[in-house]
Structure 1
Amino acid sequence: MATEPAMGIAQRAFSAPDEGLLEEIKAKKMAPYYEYIAPKVGWTIDGSLLAAMKDANGAELAFLQAAKEEAEKNLGDMEVLDALFAIAAFHARIGDKAGTFEACDAIALKPKVSTGKKIDALMGKLRIALFYLEVDKDVLAETKKLADSGGDWDRNNRLGVYEAIVAIVNRDFKAAAKLLLSGVATFTCTELCDYSDFVFYAVLTNLLSLSRPELKKKVVEGPEILQIIKQIPHLRELVVSLYDCEYARFFSNLLALEDRIKQDRYLAPHFRYLIREMRVLAYTQFLDAYKTVTLKAMAAVFGVSIPFLDQELAHFISCGRLNAKIDKVDLVVETNRPDSKSAHYQTIIKQGDLLLNQIQKLARKVSI
């Protein structure tokens, strides 16, 4: 069941819904998915094709149910469990989310099922949910709880990838970055994505999350990432150009990667956010090195026009994303770094006041 549903079909439906996709759907007899995806990609539903696939699905399910009943009557618990997993894999293969959930629940709730098998069933539910780009936080929480109490290394390792993909779908890139980076050296979760895509996700999210020294150690010079990053066009150049403060190159490679991000069904919903955050990251890193800099000099470094830079910086400054201001008379950008020591001192004062108030309240209760 671990390979169903085929995530490549969902990705192909997102990026290239062509005749080849239809042939894959027909080959797997995915009647529920065909009904779901046809109107979304502009296909006219072929009634005879749909009816034929539904008939085939019904016959296959009847066969699997009969095999389960035979196992219950004449075979052992292991054979019954195998039959239940076969039914769950069938529903997942054809894209039947409700059927998959019901079949996986039958496994997870069955008495005397090992923790590992319960985890497998719950991960089956997570896969079919992600196939439809949905997230079931309760299922994820339940799976993590089981894994913490008795999951083996392989299941825990794979579950980390599931959690990372869920975090990407939820636009929690900080959480995703940590999970993805920790899994680069031990990746085995090919049922969700291939290793190249996994590294792509890891590098993009960690570019936004790591400090410059950490970026060099864990990404620029990370041995596991170096093995694959060169195979992904423009990705290594994006990272190195940011680290080397070559901002025109950084913007150029970011532009070159836009189509890759737009065509990835996990990342595409966050495309504008990702591009914006990458640009803010570059501007912030550049401005941290200056107290003042002319718009002309900065525009030359970034390879953009002065009007474009003026407009973009003004937008990010007004949104509170950049600690700077623009002198329109002299066309100069002045940085306005927050006083971190003062802010830390004020935080300590506030925490101290809160602690004193709590102590006073406790003292009054004790005296009463």
Structure 2
Amino acid sequence: MRHPLGTVGQFWLFYRIADAEENLGESEVREAHLAKSLFYIRIGDKEKALEQLKVTEGKTVAVGQRMDLVFYTLQLAFFYMDFDLISKSIDKAKNLFEEGGDWERKNRLKVYEGLYCMSSRNFKKAADLFLDSISTFTTYELFPYDTFIFYTVLTSIISLDRVSLKKKVVDAPEILTVIGKIQYLSEFLNSLYDCQYKSFFSAFAGLTEQIKLDRYLHPHFRYYMREVRTVVYSQFLESYKSVTIEAMAKAFGVTVDFIDMELSRFISAGKLHCKIDKVAGVLETNRPDAKNALYQATIKQGDFLLNRIQKLSRVIDL
């Protein structure tokens, strides 16, 4: 089905391009082609928009203007969730920056790349890119600043260690000015850092619907839920060598059976370093010793190196 303004709009754009080519200069011709590109983007005609953006790029010399065309392509790609086009466009933008480019556009690209990383489940890199862009955010064409802070907090919680979370997120003035506007988010962040696990679970339940309905987070909803619970359970268990299941259930405001079932799944998946003594009703942590882990890794790498040397010596002998 044609867009209701499609025919009239295209006629006017063709006239504008023809008039610019006949009577005006190269700059006006480029602007006319850009207007046609933006028209196709606005009506959601992906193929024609990409084709016209390519034509416009051929008439564009300045690096900054070529970067803007990449941003238009990225907006279209995110609308259609075309991850292949997003990846190629981000690589293209980075190559353009090697030719030059201002800081404002570089900072905008960080937000685009952060959104791509979040959408492709690379939450660690997404958090780093979002945090780098907090004080320079201007990418309102993607989402408002409140949404940007929402993504920043969610990705940071499952990516940063406790010290970094405090420094970069909990105490960040840019986040503090906005976080109260987003329901449950402040309680979600602060109760985790303050080890108020009942409040954390309550806030977490309040946020789940918002996460589930988000177009970028929805495909990763179950994964994100598991990662958050891994973080909070690990944080609780770090304080103990052993703790009763009942005490943990009380701290989280849930039943003993729920905690038992939850931890069983996470332990079997290798997400938590502890074991359950069902008879005694106790959880015993068995976190790997850092020095011992380093020692084992050194032995393993040494054996690998010796095997390679032996193979090499046999080849030399031949």
TM-score (norm 2): 0.93
Q: Tell me the distance in 2 between the aligned counterparts of 1:95 and 1:149.
A: 31
Match of 2:273 among 318, 323, 340: 323
Distance 1:335 1:150, change over 3 A: same
Q: Note the 1:136-147 alignment, pairs <5 A.
A: 136=85, 137-147=87-97
Q: Note the 1:286-305 alignment, pairs <5 A.
A: 286-305=236-255
Q: Tell me the distance in 1 between the aligned counterparts of 2:98 and 2:304.
A: 35
The reply to whether residue 153 of structure 1 matches residue 103 of structure 2 is yes
Q: Structure 1 residue 362: deviation in Å?
A: 8.0
Q: Tell me the distance in 1 between the aligned counterparts of 2:308 and 2:102.
A: 44
Q: Structure 1 residue 259: deviation in Å?
A: 1.5
Partner of 2:66: 118
Q: Tell me the distance in 2 between the aligned counterparts of 1:355 and 1:63.
A: 70
User: Is the Cα contact below 8 Å between 1:261 and 1:268 reproduced in 2?
Assistant: yes
Worse-matched range after superposition: 351-360 or 199-208 = 351-360
The residue type equivalent to 2:26 in the other structure is D
User: Is the Cα contact below 8 Å between 1:147 and 1:155 reproduced in 2?
Assistant: no
Worse-matched range after superposition: 283-292 or 56-65 = 56-65
Q: Runs of 5+ in structure 2 lacking a partner?
A: none
Match of 1:84 among 26, 33, 36: 33
Q: Tell me the distance in 1 between the aligned counterparts of 2:206 and 2:226.
A: 15
Partner of 2:176: 226
Q: Structure 1 residue 134: deviation in Å?
A: 2.2
Cα deviation code 1:34-59 (max 9, x no counterpart): xxxxxxxxxxxxxxxx45x35x2022
User: Is the Cα contact below 8 Å between 2:30 and 2:59 reproduced in 1?
Assistant: no
Cα deviation code 1:246-275 (max 9, x no counterpart): 111111110011111122111122111111
- Over the matched positions of the two proteins, sequence identity in percent amounts to 47
The residue type equivalent to 2:251 in the other structure is V
Q: Structure 1 residue 73: deviation in Å?
A: 2.1
Partner of 1:127: 75
Q: Runs of 5+ in structure 1 lacking a partner?
A: 1-49
Partner of 1:216: 166
Q: Structure 1 residue 322: deviation in Å?
A: 0.8
RMSD of Structure 2 on Structure 1 (CA)? 2.1
Q: Tell me the distance in 2 between the aligned counterparts of 1:144 and 1:133.
A: 20
Q: Tell me the distance in 1 between the aligned counterparts of 2:254 and 2:82.
A: 39
Match of 1:191 among 141, 148, 160: 141
Partner of 2:208: 258
Q: Tell me the distance in 1 between the aligned counterparts of 2:315 and 2:38.
A: 60
The residue type equivalent to 2:81 in the other structure is L
The residue type equivalent to 2:124 in the other structure is K
User: Is the Cα contact below 8 Å between 2:277 and 2:283 reproduced in 1?
Assistant: yes
Distance 1:59 1:298, change over 3 A: same
User: Is the Cα contact below 8 Å between 1:208 and 1:278 reproduced in 2?
Assistant: yes
User: Is the Cα contact below 8 Å between 2:30 and 2:60 reproduced in 1?
Assistant: no
User: Is the Cα contact below 8 Å between 1:81 and 1:107 reproduced in 2?
Assistant: yes
Distance 1:367 1:146, change over 3 A: farther
The residue type equivalent to 1:119 in the other structure is M
Distance 1:147 1:362, change over 3 A: farther
Q: Structure 1 residue 122: deviation in Å?
A: 1.4
Cα deviation code 1:182-208 (max 9, x no counterpart): 111110000001000000000110011
1:334 aligned counterpart, secondary structure: strand
Q: Tell me the distance in 2 between the aligned counterparts of 1:94 and 1:312.
A: 48
Q: Structure 1 residue 62: deviation in Å?
A: 2.2
Q: Note the 1:352-363 alignment, pairs <5 A.
A: 352=302
Q: Tell me the distance in 1 between the aligned counterparts of 2:271 and 2:67.
A: 42
Higher relative contact order (CA 8 A, sep 6+): 1
Distance 1:237 1:355, change over 3 A: same
Q: Structure 1 residue 294: deviation in Å?
A: 0.7
Cα deviation code 1:156-181 (max 9, x no counterpart): 11111111111111111111000011
Distance 1:352 1:145, change over 3 A: farther
Q: Tell me the distance in 2 between the aligned counterparts of 1:165 and 1:148.
A: 22
Number of paired residues? 316
Distance 1:66 1:349, change over 3 A: farther
Q: Note the 1:1-150 alignment, pairs <5 A.
A: 50=1, 53-54=3-4, 56-108=5-57, 110=58, 113-135=61-83, 136=85, 137-150=87-100
User: Is the Cα contact below 8 Å between 2:60 and 2:66 reproduced in 1?
Assistant: no
Q: Tell me the distance in 1 between the aligned counterparts of 2:314 and 2:16.
A: 70
1:293 aligned counterpart, secondary structure: strand
User: Is the Cα contact below 8 Å between 1:293 and 1:332 reproduced in 2?
Assistant: yes
The residue type equivalent to 1:87 in the other structure is K
Q: Structure 1 residue 111: deviation in Å?
A: 5.2
